[in-house]
Structure 1
């Protein structure tokens, strides 16, 4: 009886070791895929990212949406993007602004919030266009090309998101350059967004028509 129990116990341990090894292999594979996708985003956007001072000129600057506060004003991430877009227009580096976001977002109407902010900061409404169905970075880029006929643009976003944004817009057929947006953000927000971008890269790579 004891021998049989010992044998069963040994068999259970072997099965658990096999499961653990399989789990490690799967986890390792996922890490490699995720790392590879992130490297691809950085590679595809290499040479096309800069700050405001070094930014090239383009007919339009694209501002992807982000969360808005309960009072309808842009939160830190979105405010930073809008501030850079304003600087680019006032510096003569962009002629128009395309706002792209979720008009029915869980935090509020991103487009209305962005437009109010731009008007409050002296931007002429005649140079602002809005895409109220830019529900993701990929959709923002693809709709900018297909719906608004944009062939050349600057896209503004924070440093974590910028490589993916530039890569997706270039894959959509836009000659896109990215400009780093500001963010007066808490450290926990920075960490959360770094993790989010790291995990978002594989999906972006899988969906990307590699045209450029």
Structure 2
């Protein structure tokens, strides 16, 4: 085996180890929509929007929230993303989509400073007082999201969201998850940092997330 091959094999094993360590706290806490448990709130992390409307990945997450609210397995929803995102206002797009699909504004809380998954989870706990929650996102992202939520002090379970995405989009996101996001999460889990925006009044005192 050449030195290059050995290096590639070693790097692959290292990444696999990192991924397993990040995902470990989520073991036994990942569900499909059909078997998801109940919780006071479902958290929807943001993703790209286009022309003020969620793109397929984000729509998949929101559709899970709509279903959980409709059958009473969640009483409220916290949409958490970047209101000043490069693709547009994720919060406005998510809120508009939920309302268009029959969700009352009175059960929607908004966090415009969920700039990444870590911030979404820590702000949910610290700013919005969330102690028990479901989180809805795609399968490749879900173990990390649940692990970070639990590290933030939330009794969290994850619900798999679909994605009517192009293969190229899915491959790009899976690669980013394993090559970049999980190594970053491992550092954050062992060396917690404050959220980049630590406090905001949005939704924090409404009581709908209790």
Same fold (TM over 0.5): yes
The superposition leaves residues 110-138 of structure 1 with CA deviations (integer Å, 9 ceiling, x where unpaired) of 00000000111110100100000000000
Match of 1:159 in 2: 139
DSSP 3-state at the match of 1:92: coil
Q: Indicate which of 97, 119, 122 corresponds to 1:142.
A: 122
Q: TM-score, normalised by structure 2?
A: 0.86
The question of 1:64 aligning with 2:42 is answered no
Residue segments in structure 1 that go unaligned for 5+ positions in a row: 1-19
Go from structure 1 to structure 2 and tell me whether the alpha carbon gap of 1:210 and 1:49 turns closer, same or farther (over 3 Å shift): farther
Q: TM-score, normalised by structure 1?
A: 0.85
Match of 1:110 in 2: 90
The superposition leaves residues 181-207 of structure 1 with CA deviations (integer Å, 9 ceiling, x where unpaired) of 011111111111110111111110111
Match of 2:200 in 1: none
C-alpha deviation, 1:209, in angstroms: 4.2
Go from structure 1 to structure 2 and tell me whether the alpha carbon gap of 1:210 and 1:52 turns closer, same or farther (over 3 Å shift): farther
Residue segments in structure 2 that go unaligned for 5+ positions in a row: 193-210
Q: Is the contact made by 1:151 and 1:174 (CA closer than 8 Å) also made in structure 2?
A: yes
Runs ≥4 residues deviating over 2 A: 23-33
CA distance in 2, matches of 1:186, 1:110: 20
C-alpha deviation, 1:25, in angstroms: 6.3
C-alpha deviation, 1:43, in angstroms: 1.9
CA distance in 1, matches of 2:35, 2:191: 27
What is the count of residue pairs matched by the alignment? 190
DSSP 3-state at the match of 2:77: strand
Considering only CA atoms, is the larger Rg found in Structure 1 or Structure 2? 1
Q: Is the contact made by 1:49 and 1:179 (CA closer than 8 Å) also made in structure 2?
A: yes
Match of 2:186 in 1: 205
